[in-house]
Chain A
Amino acid sequence: MRFVDEYRDAELGRALAAEILATAEPGRHYKVMEVCGGHTHTIYKYGVDDLLPENVELVHGPGCPVCVIPMGRVDDGIAVAHEEGVIFTCFGDMMRVPGGHGTLLEAKAEGADIRMVYSPLDALRIARESPDREVVFFAVGFETTAPSTALTLMRAKAEGLRNFSVFCNHVTIVPPLRALLESPDLRLDGFIGPGHVSTVVGARPFEFIPADYGKPIVVSGFEPLDLLQSVHMILLQLRDGRCEVENQYKRVVPYDGNAQALRVLAEVFDLRPHFEWRGLGFISHSGLKLSHAYSDFDAELRFRVPGIRVADPKACQCGEVLKGVIKPWECKVFGTACTPERPIGTCMVSSEGACAAYYNFGRFSRGEKRLVGA
């Protein structure tokens, strides 16, 4: 595939790995957090960290939109799905996220009409085709997916569709990053910035990370070579004593973001005073709800939503995993009570979740011969 395969070239990967090795100070241990779940997925899928030296460690951050949805919100979604006449639509990953009372997949088996869609526009089409049913879209995601929800809502309003609504769980990227950086147990040397989010918000909103917290950040693309290059750029900043926002993903990310997408977000959404994050607790101004102009399409106003907060299961250490305090394998229930087929925590659900990625794609020791077999 042109424009894709070029970024997966094994030889270039080895060359970059050699440069990383040459840049890393021996004896110093580097911890770099990739914020975005898409990056985590790439790292495991291609075995990117097999190419990194022993003392460069990647820590998986809170950027998997499915992983950060708290259990209470899943229960709310299930309650709406069970309402008479409702067709409940959501992304596939969301189906297996456990709430306090099971998953959407189980609710579907119990008779709720829950359909997987690939885009909010699919949900809108279902609404057009089923005028006698109420179609609800379970919206999740950062600024990456929020514009498509926003455009869908604008279209619904323009068409005067009365049977369509959105259960909004969109979140924003900066507040959780700030919360992470404020966390006293955090020890990170730098950040790989979220490329997809940045296509919308740009790289500028991350300037507070070097300015206020003295950590370098490099906004990165999603192919394995992108990630290796970004790690190298962070190590170079550290070596040279620089601390700034750099943009590795220039082929897609404009420094100031996508003005049109930002305008659409501002029209359709308002910031919530606070929003709960799985494992991270309540974070101020971190969630989006539909603005007054779109409140007719707000599923939380149209249906009775229980809104009961469900505490994260005690044994689950998703929060610490999301903060990068522990690695997935250090969680007490990892791989035993909590597996991709029976997840306890959300990090085990989506293939972008740190735990599921580690479980599925595994990580045998670097350089250990055992892996390729005796």
Chain B
Amino acid sequence: MATREQAVLDKLELWRRKPTKFRDERITMAHGAGGKATQALVEGLLAPAFGMTELADAGAVDGLALTTDAFVVKPIRFPGGSIGELAVNGTVNDLAVAGARPLALTLSLVLEEGLGADELRAEVDAIARAATAADVHVVAGDTKVVERGHCDSMYICTTGLGRFDPRAHLSPAALRPGDRILVSGSIGEHGTAIMLARGEFELAAEIESDTRPLWPAVDALLEAAGPSLRCMRDATRGGVASALNELARASGVAVVVREAAVPVQPAVAGACEILGIDPMYGANEGRFLVFVAPEAADEALAALTSVAGCEQAAEIGEVKTDPPGLVLVETAFGGRRVMDMLVGDPLPRIC
């Protein structure tokens, strides 16, 4: 390759690694998509304002883990789940992948004037069922009502409290060259299910959201490979691609993914193919990435595949040294490319 081209690429790499600035004049839907614009908002405005240095899924307070999440999904019910179930699982999963056993939740409901009582009752039931399944209690809450048209049926905020597991020593900055990367199952299902549930495309496919609590899987992993686990992350908005990029940046390492090894359901692959979307960017609500030292990778994978719902877990790649901060894909066709964070927003309001 021409040295000038290499020089430009090197400069590009440097630019990509620079701390992101928030320079936009207005909030656009892209800021909510979990990709680059979200990163600029969080790293460029929010984190500095609160003096946060490490951006993990949950914060630590006196040995306890604390996290919070808002849910604005449209439509509120979709194949495989609903906003209520999502509001529990999304928050307990942020605790779980941080290595904390979920203990309790608080719940805030923002309700739209005119919402049917049956619809509300159904979601309250869904919240109660999901909390029981995840073994957490809802211990406090709040309700607000806004005028018709000021929110779509309902928005939900949940805050989760968990206890860090002594077997876990996890950090987004802990990735080391040689580490193996596992994914806990087939990807892209939640995003695709929501997309189809909106009925904007005349596509019919049996795709269900993957929303589920992840603590049982994390618990099994900690038991099998606790000290060898470096980091875990749930691949929600922005998908596997964006989560890998965040961690490659946080640890200053390269991540190499073998595309052919990443499990994708045929129906998801087909829908994504038709819509021109890469499943790597598709949202998940019950899948997470695991970074584990190479010597413990097989035990970790065996533990993961033995958990219900994670049977399709797979090793999908490896951590390398160079180029730091970038995610590379070895395509199934035999070529190679950089897989950047999501830019723009293919699909707003998925969770």
Contact = CB atoms under 8 A, between A and B. Distances in A.
A117 to B, nearest CB: 8
A360 B340 contact: yes
Interface stretch (A25-33, A128-136, A205-213, A333-341): A333-341
Interface in B278-322: 278, 318, 320-322
Size bracket of the A interface: 35 or more
Nearest to B26: A109
B273 interface: yes
Interface stretch (B8-16, B142-150, B219-227): B8-16
Interface stretch (A8-16, A65-73, A154-162, A232-240): A8-16
B16 to A, nearest CB: 9
A136 to B, nearest CB: 18
Contacts of B177: 373-374
Contacts of A334: 8
Nearest to B35: A341
B28 A364 contact: no
B12 to A, nearest CB: 4
A373 B28 contact: no
Nearest to A329: B8
A22 B159 CA distance: 63
A163 to B, nearest CB: 20
A42 B5 CA distance: 21
Interface string B324-343: 00001011111111111001
A110 B335 contact: no
Nearest to B6: A365
Contacts of B139: none
A165 B58 CA distance: 50
A1 B256 contact: no
B344 A335 contact: no
Please classify the interface of chain A as helix (H, G, I), strand (E, B), loop, or mixed, using the class held by over half of its residues. helix
B322 A50 contact: no
A274 interface: no
A46 B333 contact: yes
Interface in A48-67: 48-51
Interface in A335-360: 335-336, 339-342, 359-360
A374 B322 contact: yes
Given A47-B337, A341-B37, A372-B328, A362 B9 contact: yes
Given A1-B266, A106-B28, A118-B200, A92 B37 contact: no
B84 to A, nearest CB: 28
B334 A368 contact: no
Nearest to B338: A362
Contacts, number: 130
Interface string B256-280: 1000000000100110010100100
B212 interface: no
Interface in B1-24: 1, 4-6, 8-9, 11-12, 15, 23
Contacts of A224: 333, 335
A366 interface: yes
A370 B323 contact: yes
B25 interface: yes
B233 interface: no
- Candidate in A1, A50, A364 with the most chain B CB atoms within 10 angstroms: A364
A151 interface: no
B338 A108 contact: no
B328 A44 contact: no
B101 interface: no
A127 to B, nearest CB: 15
A8 B270 contact: no
Contact of A1 (B11, B27, B269, B318): B269
Nearest to B25: A106
Given A1-B266, A8-B332, A368-B1, A118 B337 contact: no
Contacts of A1: 266, 269-270, 273
Given A118-B275, A336-B11, A362-B9, A373 B334 contact: no
A374 B28 contact: no
A4 B335 contact: no
A8 B333 contact: yes
A335 B25 contact: no
B115 interface: no
- Candidate in A45, A362, A368 with the most chain B CB atoms within 10 angstroms: A362
A50 B336 CA distance: 7
Contact of A327 (B5, B328, B346): B5
Interface of A: 1, 4, 8, 10, 13-14, 44-51, 92, 95-96, 105-106, 108-110, 117-118, 122, 224, 327, 329-330, 334-336, 339-342, 359-366, 368, 370-374
Given A370-B322, A372-B336, A373-B254, 14 more contacts: A8-B332, A10-B334, A46-B333, A48-B335, A106-B28, A109-B27, A118-B201, A118-B275, A336-B15, A340-B36, A359-B12, A360-B340, A361-B337, A365-B1
22 contacts: A4-B273, A44-B337, A46-B337, A47-B331, A47-B336, A50-B335, A51-B335, A92-B346, A106-B25, A106-B26, A110-B26, A335-B8, A340-B36, A362-B338, A363-B9, A364-B9, A372-B328, A372-B336, A373-B177, A373-B320, A373-B321, A373-B322
Interface of B: 1, 4-6, 8-9, 11-12, 15, 23, 25-30, 36-37, 40, 177, 200-201, 254, 256, 266, 269-270, 273, 275, 278, 318, 320-323, 328, 330-340, 343-344, 346
- Nearest 8 interchain pairs by C-beta: A47-B335, A373-B320, A362-B338, A365-B1, A361-B337, A50-B335, A335-B12, A46-B333
